[in-house]
Amino acid sequence: MNYLRTIWQGMVPANPVFVMALGLCSTLAVTLRVENAFFMAVMVGATTMFSSLAISLLRYRIPFRFRLISYMLVVVTAVISVEQLLRAWYPDMARALGPYVGLIVTNCVVMGRLEAYAVSHRPVEAFCDALGVSLGYLCVLLGIAGIRELLGNGTLWGLSVMPDFYIACRVFNSPPGAFIVFAGLLYLVNRLRAAAGRES
C-alpha cells in the first residue's frame, strides 16, 4: 500500500468538499475569517484522524447493525476532547466558533470516512486516508476564508494587507458572499479536473 498515494487521494481526487460535496454547511459558515477556518479545520481533522484510527482498530468487534451508533460514540468522544482543549488554550476562538464545534459530531466528512474507508481498512491505511481528507478540507477552508476575508475586510488573519485606498466589499462578509466564493472555486476546480482528464 502506497501511503503517500492514499494521502494524496484524500486531498485532491476525493476532496471532501469540492469533489464529494460533504460538510458544506459548516464550510461556508466558518469561513468569514482565516483564523476561524484554520481552527475549525484542525478540529475536524483531529476528530477524523482519531475516529478513523479507533474504528479501524475496532472494526472486527463492532456488530454491523450497531456500527452507526458506534461511530457516533467515538466521534463524540473526539469532539468533546478537542473542544475542551480549545476552551482551555484558545477560549476566544472557542467562543467565536460557538455551536459549530458541536456540529462536528454530525459532519459528513467525518462520518463518511468512517463508513467508506476506516471500517474496512487497516489502522495505518485508515489514518493516512483521514490525514489526506483532513488536509484537503483544510486547504478548502483556508482558500474560501482567505478570499472572503481579503475582499470583505482587506485583512488576512486579522492583519491589514490591502492598500489604504482599497474599499472593502462587504458582500463577502455575508452568506451570499460565501456561496459566491465557493461557486467560483468549484468552477475553477472542475475546469482544472476536466483539463487534467483531457491531457491524460
Domain positions in the chain are: 3-141
Report pLDDT digits (tens) over 74-131: 999 999 999 899 899 988 888 888 777 877 877 788 888 888 888 999 999 999 999 9
Question: Within its chain, how far is the Cα of 164 from the centroid?
Answer: 33
Nearest 5°: the CA angle 152, 155, 161 is 125
Quick one: cell of 191? Answer: 475546469
Q: Decide: 160 and 154 in contact? Cβ < 8 Å.
A: yes
Taking the whole predicted model, whether its pTM rises above 0.85 is answered as yes
Which of helix, strand or coil describes residue 152?
helix
E strand spans, the chain: 155-156, 159-160
Going by C-alpha positions, the residue among 5, 30, 18 that lies closest to residue 142 is 30
> Which pLDDT band holds residue 34 (cuts at 50, 70, 90)?
very high
